[in-house]
Amino acid sequence: MFEYAPAPESRSIVNIKPSYGLFINGSFVDGSSSFKTINPASEEVLSEVASADASDVDKAVKAARTAFSKTWGKMPGKERAKYLFRIARLIQERSRELAVLESLDNGKPIKESRDVDLPLVAAHFFYYAGWADKLGYAGFGPNPKPLGVAGQVIPWNFPLLMLAWKIAPALAAGNTVVLKPAETTPLTALLFAEICQQADLPPGVVNIVTGAGETGAAIVEHPDVNKVAFTGSTDVGRIIARAVAGTQKKVTLELGGKAANIIFEDAAIDQAVEGIVNGIFFNQGHVCCAGSRLLLQESIQDAVLEKLKRRMTTLRVGDPLDKNTDIGAINSAEQLSRIRTLSEIGESEGAEMWQAPCDLPAHGFWFRPTIFTGVSQAHRIAREEIFGPVLSVLTFRTPAEAVEKANNTPYGLSAGVWTEKGSRILQIADQLRAGVVWANTFNKFDPTAPFGGYKESGYGREGGRHGLEAYLAA
Amino acid sequence: MVKRRLRLVNNAELTRILHGLPGVDKVGAEARAASLGTRSIKTTAKAWAIDTAIRMVDLTTLEGADTPGKVRALCAKARQPDPSDQTVPSVAAVCVYPSMVPTAAEALKGSGIHLASVATAFPSGQAPLSVKLDDTKAAVSAGADEIDMVISRGAFLAGRYLDVYDEIVEVKRACGDAHLKVILETGELATYDNVRRASWLAMLAGGDFIKTSTGKVTPAATLPVTLIMLEAVRDFLAETGRKVGVKPAGGIRTTKDAIKYLVMVNEVAGEGWLDPDWFRFGASTLLNDLLMQRHKLATGHYSGPDYFTLD
C-alpha cells in the first residue's frame, strides 16, 4: 500500500510574537484589552492580540484622515504605484512565511495558502498598482477623486486575500484605510502591517485594528469614515446597511451565497467531478461562492455520485501544514457547531448523509467531507449557507428546471455550468442570476475579474476595473 | 452492455460506442494532473515508491544499433540492477526488437523477468496486416511473453475504428498466451478525447495493457495522457469486470517523475494497479536515476553516475 509519509512544512520560518498591538499611524500601539488567537487544528494559543475599542478606532480613523489629507490623497498616482509595487514584491518575497502563518491561524491546508491565496494576494497588489496612475482611463471621468477614509471589515475564510481585495484598490485610488481582520484570524493582517513598515508606506495610510464585532461596529459607525467595505455574513451585512443608511458613506457588501453547480449529462464527467470537489471542499467549504448546491441531471445522477464518492475517499483530511493535506481544520468551534447543527437538520429533514471515511485528529475542529442526497428545494440545507464541507445534491431533468432551481435562492453570488456544448454554456449562463458564472471550472479567481453578488449576496463589485468604482467619487 | 453490442460490431456501432464516451475537458484534466504532481512523497513513502518503480520498469532498448552484446548487458542489469546492492529488486521486463528476442530469452532464462518484444512494424505500424502478424508470431515463438504492438494511427484518425479493432483482435490471436500491450502513440492522437477513445478501443479489442507511446514520437508519455488512460482502465473494470494494465513509455527519466506517476495510479485508478502486473514504466535511463535516489535515501549522500552501470 502507498502510504504517504508526513510531509510537514516547517513553521520555523515564521516568528509569531507572544502579543501584538494595534497598527495605528505606522506603529504598533497597545490596546485597552486583548484576546487570544488559536490554531484551529490543535487549539494551541498562537498569540495574544489587542482588542480595539471605540477610542482606538477613533485614533485610527484620525490617523487615516491625516494621512489622506497630508500625504496619500495628494500624492501623484505614479508615486502611490511605487509603494503598491513594493508591497506586492515584499509579499512575494515573504510568501512562504505568510502562507505558513495563514495556515496556522486559519486552519487551511498549506497547499492552498501556498498555491492559491498568496499568489492571488500578490497578484491583486500588482494589478491595482498598475491602475494607480491610470485612473483617468478607468471610465469614471478624466480625473476621478478618492473618497477619503475607507473602513473595511473582512472575514476569516481568506484573511490575507480579503485584505488584499480591500486594501489594494483603496490605496490605488488614493484612499487611506482602517481595516479590521476577523477575530479568529488576525495574524497575517498584522504581518502585513510589518510589510507596510518595511515598504516605508507613509504612517496612517494603512491602519489595522483587531477586535470582535464591537470594533467593526465602531469603524462602520464612525462619522469620519467615507466608505464602508464589508465581506462576511448576510446577517451582519444587514446591520451594516442599516447603520450607514442616511449617511454620506458609500458601501459595498459581499455577503453569503448558496451557489448552484449545474452538471449536464453531456459534461466532461471526470473533470466535472473535480469541479464538484473543488467547488465545495476547497478551503473546507469556507467560501462564500462555494458550489454548495449540486444540481445533477437525472440521467447521470448515479454515475456522477459513484465517481464523486470514490474521489472523496482520496481526500486527505488533517494537519494543515502537511503538504499532502487536501482538507484542513474548520476555523472555529463556533463554525464547527453551526456545520454540525445544519447537518443534523439535514438528516432530520430526511436527506441521506454520506461522509468520506477518514480519521480525524484528536484535537482541533474537524468535519468530514459530507454529501447529502435526496435533498429538495424546501430543505434548509438547500437554502441556508452552511459554510463548511457539506454538499447538498439535487437533481433536474430539463435545462429550464435547472435554471429555475439554481435561481430559486435568496442569494446570487456564483454558479457553475458543466457541459461540453458551448451554446448551452452561453444560454444557461445568460439566465442565471449570479455575479459570477463559471463554465467547466469552479472557484477560479483573478484580480482582473470583477466579483460580487445579486440579491442577498450583497452589492458592489470587487476586482478588475469595476472594483475601482467603489473607491472613487465617480 | 458493451459486450452484448460488440457481437454485432460494425464501424458505425463502434463509432457510436466510442463517441458516446464522456468528453475530456483539456484544461480540467491538465489541472488535475498538475495538482497530483504536487504531492510530497518523502522518507518511507519515497523508499517504497522507488522500489515499486524499479519493479515496474520495462527496461528497454529499441535502437537500430542494438547488438546481442548490448542486449545481454541489459538483461544482466535487469536481473541485478545494482551489483553492489543485493537488496535492489529486479525489473519487470526487458523490452527489445524481435530480432533480439532469442538473445534476450537466453540471457533471462530462469530469472522470472518478462521478455517483451515490440512488433507489428514498430514504430510506425505501416505494414500489411500479414507482415504484422508474422512479426508477432516470430517474436512469440522466439520466447517473448509480452508483445508491444502499435495501432494504425492513420486508420484511427480517419475514423476507421473497426480496422484498428480487427487488427488488435488478430494480433491478440497471434500472441497466443503472450500478453498484449497496445501502443496508442498518444503523441499522434492530438486530443484527450482521442486518447480516451483509443484506450477503450484497445480494451474492447482484447488488449491486456494500454501503452502511451513508442518513444519515437514527441511528446511521449505525459501525466495528463496517463491520467486519461488510468481513468479509462478504472471505468472499463467497473463496466466490464475486466482489468487492463497501463504503461506510460518514453520521456520518464527521473525518480521525481516516476513518483508523480505512482501517486496518480494510487489516486486515480486505485491501489489495485500499484503492481508490476498492472502498471509498467517503459524506460531506459529512468532505472539509473531510481538507483541513485535509492542510494541517496539509504546513505544520505549522492554517488556520481560512474558508480552505476551504463546499461
pLDDT confidence bin for A1, thresholds 50/70/90: confident
Q: In the CATH hierarchy, which top-level class contains the domain A260-439?
A: alpha beta
- Residue length of chain A: 474
CB–CB of A166/A124 below 8 Å? no
What structural domains does chain B harbor? 2-298 (3.20.20.70)
pLDDT per residue, tens digit, chain B (311 aa), is 454 445 547 999 999 999 999 999 999 999 999 999 999 999 999 999 999 999 999 999 999 999 999 999 999 999 999 999 999 999 999 999 999 999 999 999 999 999 999 999 999 999 999 999 999 999 999 999 999 999 999 999 999 999 999 999 999 999 999 999 999 999 999 999 999 999 999 999 999 999 999 999 999 999 999 999 999 999 999 999 999 999 999 999 999 999 999 999 999 999 999 999 999 999 999 999 999 999 999 999 988 888 888 76
The pLDDT tens digits of the residues spanning A375-402 come to 999 999 999 999 999 999 999 999 999 9
Strands, E assignment, A15-84:
19-20, 22-24, 27-29, 33-38, 45-51
B36, B38, B40, B231: which to substitute to probe chain A, counting the most A Cβ within 10 Å? B40
Instruction: Look at A115 and B31 and tell me if their CB atoms are within 8 Å.
Output: no
Q: How many residue contacts between A and B have a Cβ separation below 8 Å? A: 68
CATH for A19-255+454-473 is: 3.40.605.10
The pLDDT tens digits of the residues spanning A126-184 come to 999 999 999 999 999 999 999 999 999 999 999 999 999 999 999 999 999 999 999 99
Q: Is B177 on the interface with A (CB under 8 A)?
A: no
Q: Is residue A350 predicted with pLDDT exceeding 80?
A: yes
Q: Is A115 on the interface with B (CB under 8 A)?
A: yes
Indicate the residue type of B292: M
Domains of chain A by residue range: 19-255+454-473, 260-439
Bridge-based pairing state of the strands A176-180 and A206-208: parallel
Identify the DSSP state of A442: -
Instruction: Look at B28 and A1 and tell me if their CB atoms are within 8 Å.
Output: no
Q: Is A269 on the interface with B (CB under 8 A)?
A: yes
Burial A6-34, CB ≥16 within 10 A → b, else e: bbebebeebebeeebbbbbbbebeebeeb
Q: Is A26 on the interface with B (CB under 8 A)?
A: no
CB–CB of A140/A218 below 8 Å? no
- pLDDT of B7 reads 53
The pLDDT tens digits of the residues spanning A418-467 come to 999 999 999 999 999 999 999 999 999 999 999 999 999 999 999 999 99
Identify the DSSP state of B228: H
Is the ipTM here above 0.90?
yes
Q: What is the mean pLDDT of residues A78-96?
A: 98
The pLDDT tens digits of the residues spanning A268-299 come to 999 999 999 999 999 999 999 999 999 999 99
Instruction: Look at A440 and B28 and tell me if their CB atoms are within 8 Å.
Output: yes
Torsion of CA A33, A39, A40, A45, to 10 degrees: -50
The pLDDT tens digits of the residues spanning A11-26 come to 999 999 999 999 999 9
- pLDDT of A160 reads 98
What amino acid positions of A are annotated as catalytic residues? 254, 288
Torsion of CA B133, B135, B140, B142, to 10 degrees: 150
d(CA B137, CA A131): 70
